[in-house]
Amino acid sequence: MSMNEFRRLAAKMDQHMQQLAAQGVNDAPAIIHRMMGYVPDLHQIWVGTTDHQLLALSHEFPGFYRYALIMEEAFEAERQKGSRPYDGLATLSEPHQQRAAHLLTTAATLERGYQAFLESGNAKVAQPQVHEMDKLHQQWLSDLESFKSALRAQGAEPMALEYVNEAFGRLAERIKKLAG
């Protein structure tokens, strides 16, 4: 992945962090909850850049830096725990991990897109874009149900399905509110 692609991803995260700040969402748990869709993008940047490139992105995009720092601190706190409720769960297969990452990324696109339309205040001008977002939203819901069905068919553990339902259910509710 090129530095331009990393910059594009960091800019998206920075923009969403600015939107959240404008809404008064500033505490780490709420940010983690609202920015869950960016985890795959953050991971790509984290493993795909050099320390120098990561530092440059952090300086250029302060919202990205804040999000990365919050996620790093949360990851470290989780790692330090003696036990976690999901310890012992089987890891999803690589294709299922890729589908989950795609669903998260699309959810972030939907949230950011709907939020931008709401902030623009001119829904009539943006009507074609809103229609496209609505189509993407319907496709995302269909893909999400397909993903859950595939997990059930694969025999995923009930607790794993519960985690998927909880995480994606929160995303779906937020997107539904924005779309409405």
Instruction: Give the model's pLDDT for residue 18.
Output: 93
Residue 157 has pLDDT above 90, yes or no: no
What pLDDT sits at residue 123? 57
% of the chain residues with pLDDT over 90:
53
Residue from 137, 28, 17 nearest 9 by CA: 17
Please give the pLDDT value at position 122.
65
Residue range 125-147: mean pLDDT, rounded? 88
- Residue 52: count other Cβ atoms within 10 Å of its Cβ: 8
Between 123 and 33, residue with greater pLDDT: 33
Contact call for residues 23 and 114 (beta carbons, < 8 A): no
Q: What is the pLDDT of residue 51?
A: 93
Q: Is the pLDDT of residue 28 over 70?
A: yes
Read off the pLDDT band of 4 (50, 70, 90): very high
Q: What is the reported pTM?
A: 0.70
- Is residue 108 scored above 60 in pLDDT? yes
Answer for the pair 112, 12: CB distance below 8 angstroms, yes or no.
Answer: yes
Cα gap 133→110, rounded to integer Å: 7
- Mean pLDDT over 154-171 rounds to 88
**pLDDT per residue over 74-106, tens digit each?**
989 888 877 766 666 777 888 988 999 899 889
Position 126 scores a pLDDT of 66
**Planar angle of CA 15, 16, 21, nearest 5 degrees:** 100
pLDDT at residue 114 above 60?
yes
